[in-house]
Amino acid sequence: MKFPEFITATSLDQGLEIKRERGTEARVIAGGTDLILKMRDKVLSPSVLIDLRRASLDGVTLSGEYLGLGASLSVSGVIENADIAQMFPALAAACKEFAGPPIRNRATLAGNIVNASPAADLVPPMIAYDADIVLRSSAGERILPLAEFFVGPGQSVIEPDEILTEIRLPLTSAATAATFIKLGQRRSMTISQVNLATRLSLDEQGKVSTARIVLGAVAPVPMRAVAAEAMLTGEELSEELLGAAARKAREEAMPISDFRASRAYRLQMTEVLVRRALARIAHQGAG
């Protein structure tokens, strides 16, 4: 592997200027846990690596509307943050199941997003929480829902001159609960065969006001099971309803067969795990 030029940017503006000048030749490196493997396997061959660790993009900021997570925040940093654990427990749970401690110490939220893997563990909970992302270029910034970022395996809408700088998680109501479930070939250090996050909010009458069912590793991109969500919205939770929503989520999934799992197994487990996740929320209560 021919190693590219390595530039440590002392500010975000410097990094953005390099991206503007070098475009697709330049890649941002943070933890490098995905990027280096792709370079080794010759999937990517950047001529420039931009290190933004000195650009102060690893903070957590609380505004009146959202919790902002810097793109360079490590997975371990998420686990250690009390605000995230309290307000967005499904994301914290996903981070605890992510790889092992050495990788969690290096891997970043933005890296897990920009890698655009259909099986990315941290993406379903962030989509379930209706996360937005901030993409910056030397010309300005744009904000878009994380769910709209992905277009295919390893592919996204990020432009060659853009850098993902922040993830914004809208503050949720007290009557909200969410959960994350991951299925792999072993208990740890494994790529998901199926992963998912669910979130339910209830109104004062105990009916579902917001439903999110986000599936990973069962489609070309992380996906919301929108038809299953619609079945839940406006209804009171019951065993029959949870089962019907889980079956609908299975119908929406579009998995493939590969060396990790067959299509049939992924479809079956989508239904099982969605029902399990929804039942967990119903048992605990969304509030």
Rounded Cα distance, 287 and 271, in Å: 25
245, 162: one domain: no
In the predicted structure, residue 26 carries a pLDDT above the cut 80: yes
Rounded Cα distance, 229 and 245, in Å: 7
Provide the pLDDT for residue 285: 66
Q: How many domains does the chain have?
A: 3
166, 180: one domain: no
CATH of the domain at 38: 3.30.43.10
pTM, two decimals, is: 0.95
114, 143: one domain: yes
In the predicted structure, residue 286 carries a pLDDT above the cut 80: no
Tell me which of 106, 141, 170 is where a domain ends.
Answer: 170
Tell me which of 138, 170, 202 is where a domain ends.
Answer: 170
If you average pLDDT over residues 138-155, what whole number do you get? 97
Name which of 1-10, 19-28, 205-214 the model is least confident about.
1-10
Domain residue limits at 29: 5-51
Residue 102: count of CB within 10 angstroms of its CB:
10
Average pLDDT, whole number, for the chain?
A: 95
Banded model confidence at residue 132, pLDDT cuts 50, 70, 90: very high
236, 276: one domain: yes
If you average pLDDT over residues 61-82, what whole number do you get? 96
If you average pLDDT over residues 49-59, what whole number do you get? 92
- Percentage of the residues of the chain whose pLDDT score is greater than 70: 98
Rounded Cα distance, 134 and 164, in Å: 6
Banded model confidence at residue 73, pLDDT cuts 50, 70, 90: very high
Q: Which among 186, 159, 182, 180 is positioned nearest to 23, based on CA atoms?
A: 159
152, 184: one domain: no
